[in-house]
Structure 1
Amino acid sequence: MHWFFKKTKSRVEIAREAFKKRDKKLHKLAHSEKYIKEEPHKIEQGKYIGPAVYGASDGIVTTFAVVAGVAGANLDPKIVLILGFANLFADGFSMAVGDYLSSKSEKDYINSERARELWEVEHFPDAERKEVEEIYKRKGVKGEKLKLLVDIITSDKELWVDTMMKEELNLLGDDEVSPIKSALVTFFSFVIAGFTPLIAYVFSNFVPFFQTYKFLAASIITGATLFTVGGLRQLITDVKWYIGGLEMLLVGGASASVAFLIGFILRTVFGIVI
């Protein structure tokens, strides 16, 4: 199997796989001279896996909650399409805007702090050098080793600022992540995944099973999609795919149950009929 990883995986991905499997041979491969010398990089699509998975999760859950609420109230199935699509695009747009503002604000803050640290390094080098020294003293570095380490760090302005950003402020920026791209990924993953609970209603005139069992079909399709998206969380966490799938399925099922119950209560207690 090692030849497969060698052809398809990055060094970090191989190292992660080695750790999960406690595979020493795979670990040795990840730390071979060939991989160590490779310039580190991020796969473009890998940077946006998080927004894609979480956007898809929210899209499915919120849309199916609308479907379940309408089903619980026993309303005209056409209302599912009206409310479902309205929710799909409105919530998707809202999530995308929130993602953009959050990402941009974080990026702007990190950039402003980096600019401040750079100014301090340029105008108050002695004080900043003392800060670096104190940081590594607290880590237990002493004597000549401490002096050598501080000399190395402060000999390179970029390294110096990077060190202050990480060690003093605990800020790690990612200039390669675009807030606009992240927002678009969130929006489209929300809309595409969120459409799945509506499939049975949209195509009910063409599929007899959908026509007869709209809500059941929507529940089956949604359940399968929830499990799949939950399993994909393994790409950004260490959660086992089947555990992630079951967790997402339970969360989505609980949300839909609440929506169904509210719809049923409103119809039964208050006599809401449309």
Structure 2
Amino acid sequence: MTKYQHSRDTSIGSKVREVIFGMEDGMVSTLGAITGIAIGSQDHYTVILSGTVIIAVESVSMAIGSYISNRSEYEINQGRIEEEKEEIRDFAVQEKKELFRMFVRDGWPSKLARKMTKTASEDNDLMLKEMTYRELLLAGKSENIVFKKSLLMFISYIIGGLFPLVAYLILPIKNAMPVSIGITMIGLFIIGSTATRFSKVTWYKAGARVLLLGLIALVIGYLIGELATAYK
């Protein structure tokens, strides 16, 4: 695998993580909340209003959280790259030896590693790229990726949140509840099993794991709704 392929795969993987996390969280939190509200209030309007507010507020919150965390990571990595740039400038000989050792460590023949090191050391930008990748273990990322990932989180949370809510938009509350639960459980299983395309986990185990998380939220929401009904 080339450096470009590795960087591209890492970028795709991080975007997929945002989408899966956003949809899963949107489904789980919205399902648990509106199920409890539906049981406790038995009011169609209240359920729809609550579900809409939850999706709107949480999608923005999750997007902001994603932006802040990814922005912080990006800025920290940029700081590390700047430090590496200074080391290349101030300790050129030591950095050249270090790069040669890393080439050899990565399996390059010594003769070829020396030529590669010589070529890299003659170009500060190339030297920095190699040291960033091999020593800092960082793939090059643009600042735009931070915004893109937060946008993916925002959109995927809304899509996930609509899974449990959509049944209440078209069906009476008593009929909507089992349909909402069924649709969301199927969606959670599909998300969990689909994610295995990017991992080595067995698809049905991954699907069942995500499904279990949804069931936990559902049970909590259900119990709180029942308690609210009992103390009316």
TM band (smaller chain): 0.7 to 0.9
Q: Which structure has the larger Rg?
A: 1
- Say if 2:48 and 2:165, in contact at 8 Å, map to a contact too: yes
Alignment match of 1:61 (pick from 28, 36, 57): 28
- Say if 1:74 and 1:264, in contact at 8 Å, map to a contact too: no
1:112 equivalent to 2:79? Answer yes
Q: CA RMSD in A?
A: 3.2
> Partner of 2:151 in structure 1?
184
Tell me, in whole angstroms, the C-alpha distance in 1 between the residues paired with 2:108 and 2:16: 38
1:97 equivalent to 2:59? Answer no
The runs of 5 or more residues in structure 2 that have no matched partner are none
Q: Which has the higher helix share?
A: 2
Call closer, same or farther: CA 1:199–1:142 in 2, change over 3 Å: closer
> Partner of 1:77 in structure 2?
44
Call closer, same or farther: CA 1:138–1:49 in 2, change over 3 Å: closer
> Percent identity, aligned pairs only?
26
- Say if 1:72 and 1:261, in contact at 8 Å, map to a contact too: no
Tell me, in whole angstroms, the C-alpha distance in 1 between the residues paired with 2:184 and 2:104: 55
Q: Which 4+ stretches in 1 moved above 6 angstroms?
A: 136-146
1:240 equivalent to 2:229? Answer no
Tell me, in whole angstroms, the C-alpha distance in 2 between the residues paired with 1:118 and 1:254: 49
Alignment match of 2:164 (pick from 197, 208, 213): 197
Q: Deviations over 1:95-141 (max 9, x none)?
A: 10111122222222222322232232133312322443565687899
1:49 equivalent to 2:16? Answer yes
The residue identity in structure 2 corresponding to 1:256 is L
C-alpha displacement at 1:67, in angstroms? 1.7
> Partner of 2:216 in structure 1?
254
> Which one scores higher on RCO, CA 8 angstroms, separation ≥ 6?
2
The residue identity in structure 2 corresponding to 1:219 is I
The residue identity in structure 2 corresponding to 1:77 is H
Alignment match of 2:135 (pick from 163, 168, 191): 168
Tell me, in whole angstroms, the C-alpha distance in 2 between the residues paired with 1:156 and 1:73: 68
